[in-house]
């Protein structure tokens, strides 16, 4: 990944959309992992943390947190670790760790406008989303709409096409996943600082 370019964009606009930052072979492996095959790995996404955690009508995805003991998951985590170290050298965000999950949205599902920095998640600094949809077409929907901080103006709309990755400052950009009319696969993740 081009750390210099990513750092520059994060400092100047707070987000960057990368066309295909990862190797094809890794993307293919991640795509295979992002399937709800044995019905125990994925579970309905919840909103909030700890005691405040609850099933939400806001989002319709099922998720699975990446598992460092799986080779494919580990390969992705290793890429993101390199990104974390690179960003810490160039933009001084003090990123401490990274957590991420596969997400699958079924037909007719989306995620209402929200911020990734909610009560109990104040340590989330940077959001990343990697899309794993081969042959995505506009009628499939499921675009990510990113708003400026007030939530009133659209900053960018991202098509969830295979290999595309967006990185943005978690606190600065409310965002929404438009209703998907096809199965929609992704990996959502957060670089965090240590602390509460």
Closer residue to ligand OGA in complex, CB, 7/170: 170
Closer residue to ligand OGA in complex, CB, 15/111: 111
Least separation in angstroms between residue 176's CB and Mn ion is: 9
Q: Burial letters for 64-98: b for 16+ Cβ neighbours within 10 Å, e otherwise? A: bebeeeeebbeebbebbeebbebbeeebebebeeb
* Residues between 101 and 160 that touch ligand OGA (CB under 6 A): 103, 111, 116, 129, 144
**What is the greatest pairwise CA distance in the chain?**
43
129 binds, among Mn ion, ligand OGA, none (CB under 5 to 8 A by kind): ligand OGA
Closer residue to Mn ion in complex, CB, 34/126: 126
* Residues between 77 and 106 that touch ligand OGA (CB under 6 A): 103
Distance CA 56, CA 63 (A): 13
Distance CA 55, CA 170 (A): 22
The DSSP symbol for 138 reads G
* Residues between 162 and 181 that touch ligand OGA (CB under 6 A): 175, 177
Closer residue to ligand OGA in complex, CB, 73/160: 160
List 163, 167, 188, 192, residue binding ligand OGA (CB under 6 A)? 188
List 116, 140, 143, 176, residue binding Mn ion (CB under 5 A)? 116
CA distances in angstroms from 10 to 38, 91, 170, listed in the order given: 38, 8, 11
The residues binding ligand OGA (CB under 6 A) are 103, 111, 116, 129, 144, 175, 177, 186, 188
């Amino acid at each position: 990944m081009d750390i210099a370019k990513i750092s520059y964009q994060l400092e100047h606009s707070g987000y960057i959309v990368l066309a295909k930052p990862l190797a094809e072979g890794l993307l293919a492996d991640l795509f295979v992992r992002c399937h709800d095959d044995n019905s125990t790995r994925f579970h309905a996404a919840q909103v909030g943390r700890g005691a405040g955690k609850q099933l939400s009508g806001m989002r319709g995805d099922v998720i699975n947190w990446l598992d460092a003991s799986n080779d494919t998951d580990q390969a992705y985590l290793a890429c993101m670790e390199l990104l974390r170290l690179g960003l810490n050298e160039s933009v001084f965000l003090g990123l401490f760790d990274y957590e991420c999950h596969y997400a699958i949205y079924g037909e007719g599902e989306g995620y209402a406008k929200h911020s990734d920095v909610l009560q109990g998640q104040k340590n989330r600094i940077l959001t990343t989303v990697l899309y794993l949809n081969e042959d995505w077409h506009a009628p499939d929907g499921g675009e990510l709409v990113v708003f400026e901080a007030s939530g009133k103006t659209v900053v960018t709309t991202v098509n969830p096409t295979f290999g595309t990755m967006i990185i943005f400052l978690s606190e600065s950009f409310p965002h929404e996943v438009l209703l998907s009319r096809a199965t929609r696969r992704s990996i959502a993740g957060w670089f965090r600082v240590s602390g509460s």
